[in-house]
């Protein structure tokens, strides 16, 4: 689950992490009132979407497609500029490297007081599952070009691994501050901030916290000028307050609908729809599709308790994607019976009007009966016994390798 910057800044304040004063706005009028209330001649007018790269993004008119303004984050030094920028941002479509060409419509703004910046840094905390640790990354090269820094000069990014049970050690905090070349009050300010961030990360069950830029002010204070926060959905039962932060308009409608039906669905950019039971098997299915030259159009795990209704929903969601040219069904029968899935596939295909090639691979409970049900039906379907055969068949059915 992702949240907006203004929501992340509120969590930072609660955790004692230094941020600038700011106001969340949903209208131009509110943006002007925010400017008046902040008492800062210079403010940042920031688009709020669940994607990075806002500063280098472009805003487009959703009706005409015309460019409205370059940059989704603007520095305003007057009330008139706040009005201009807020008018150009709200209701228009922001396209960044992370949104894809479709972009995201901006419905929220954050007007934030200006800051005397002496230097910009980069800071991120992530879950490193291979190391069973929280990974902290820092760099002196903060700002909008951090991706280029990571690609061209990876040695400029310094790392530390933290055991979530033991917490961040004093020597690690000091070493991270030293790696940024911080001295004096800035050194102490960073050590205090990173300690609180590490506690917040674990305490709130975050999966990512990114601050870009983290800045050192002229007075030697470290201030978070950004706040990208993602939470681990598996821990939501411990944090009922998260529901209030969720912005459904920022989420894929199909993903929301899939979740309501007990499905795990993530849209991808390929042309082969995948319907699988089990997250690991779904990942393996996508890997094998790519191995045979295809591109998966989605991750879709129907789970172990799937029924006709959820399978019909799954087929419908897959076929809503105009890029889908074929579907691979890969089922390992355990609690779920392959013959039941086969009958559900037949019913679902008739209900949604399946018109693309379909390949089905069954293994496990009643897999032979499941194949017989499909092969004796009027449904145009290719059945296989192995995942490799299934992937090769669906890639071939839609035209083979690129």
Q: What angle do CA 269, 260, 103 make, to 5 degrees?
A: 35
Integer angstrom CA distances of residue 161 from 39, 129, 177, 316: 41, 11, 15, 43
Residue 261 tokens, joined: 């039906």
Short-list 297, 287, 290, CA closest to 323:
297
What are 310's two structure tokens? 């959820």
Q: What order do you get walking across the sheet with 93-95 strand by strand?
A: 67-70, 58-60, 93-95, 104-105
122 carries an active-site annotation: yes
Distance CA 93, CA 67 (A): 9
Task: Please report, for residues 44, 55, 57, 66, 74, the alpha-carbon distance to residue 71 in angstroms, rounded to integers and kept in the order given.
Answer: 12, 5, 5, 14, 7
Contact 388, 288 (CB under 8 A): yes
DSSP H helices in 221-363: 253-260, 279-291, 308-320, 338-352
Q: Are 395 and 328 in contact (CB under 8 A)?
A: no
- Which of 210, 265, 292, 392 is the catalytic position? 210
Judged by DSSP in three states, 154 sits in helix
- List the catalytic residue out of 121, 122, 265, 292: 122
Q: Are strands 73-76 and 108-113 parallel, antiparallel or unpaired?
A: unpaired
Q: How many residues does the chain have?
A: 402
Report whether 92 contacts 84 (CB < 8 A). no
Nearest to 259 by CA among 207, 314, 208: 314
Instruction: Determine contact, residues 275/348, Cβ cutoff 8 Å.
Output: no
Q: Match 């390992």 to its residue by tokens.
A: 332
Catalytic residues: 122, 210
């Amino acid at each position: 689950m992702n949240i907006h910057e203004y929501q992340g800044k509120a969590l930072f304040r609660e955790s004692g992490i230094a941020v600038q004063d700011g106001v969340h706005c949903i209208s131009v009028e509110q943006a002007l009132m925010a400017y008046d209330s902040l008492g800062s001649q210079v403010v940042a007018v920031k688009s709020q979407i669940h994607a990075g790269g806002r500063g280098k993004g472009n805003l487009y008119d959703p009706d005409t497609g015309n460019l409205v303004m370059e940059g989704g984050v603007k520095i305003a030094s007057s009330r008139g500029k706040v009005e201009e920028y807020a008018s150009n941002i709200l209701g228009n479509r922001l396209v960044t490297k992370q949104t894809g060409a479709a972009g995201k419509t901006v419905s929220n703004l954050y007007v934030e007081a200006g800051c005397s910046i002496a230097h910009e840094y980069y800071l991120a905390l992530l879950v490193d599952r291979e190391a069973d640790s929280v990974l902290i990354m820092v760099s002196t090269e903060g700002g909008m070009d951090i991706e280029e820094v990571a690609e061209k000069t990876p040695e400029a990014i310094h790392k530390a691994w933290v055991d979530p049970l033991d917490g961040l050690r004093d020597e690690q905090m000091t070493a991270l501050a030293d790696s940024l070349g911080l001295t004096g009050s800035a050194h102490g300010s960073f050590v205090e901030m990173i300690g609180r961030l590490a506690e917040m990360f674990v305490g709130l069950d975050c999966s990512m916290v990114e601050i870009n830029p983290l800045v050192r002010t002229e007075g030697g204070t470290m201030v978070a000028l950004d706040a990208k926060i993602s939470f681990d959905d598996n821990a939501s039962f411990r944090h009922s307050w998260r529901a209030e932060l969720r912005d459904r308009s920022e989420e894929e409608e199909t993903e929301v609908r899939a979740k309501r039906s007990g499905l795990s669905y993530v849209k991808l950019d390929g042309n082969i729809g995948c319907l699988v039971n089990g997250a690991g098997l779904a990942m393996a299915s996508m890997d094998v599709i790519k191995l045979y030259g295809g591109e998966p159009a989605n991750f879709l795990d129907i789970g172990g308790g799937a029924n006709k209704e959820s399978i019909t929903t799954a087929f419908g969601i897959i076929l809503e994607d105009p890029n889908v040219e074929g579907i691979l069904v890969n089922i390992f029968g355990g609690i779920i019976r392959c013959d039941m899935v086969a009958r559900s596939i037949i019913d679902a295909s008739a209900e949604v009007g399946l018109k693309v090639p379909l390949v089905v691979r069954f293994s496990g409970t009643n897999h032979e009966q499941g194949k017989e049900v499909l092969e004796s039906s009027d449904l145009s379907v290719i059945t296989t016994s192995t995942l490799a055969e299934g992937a090769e068949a669906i890639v071939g059915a839609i035209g083979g390798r690129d």
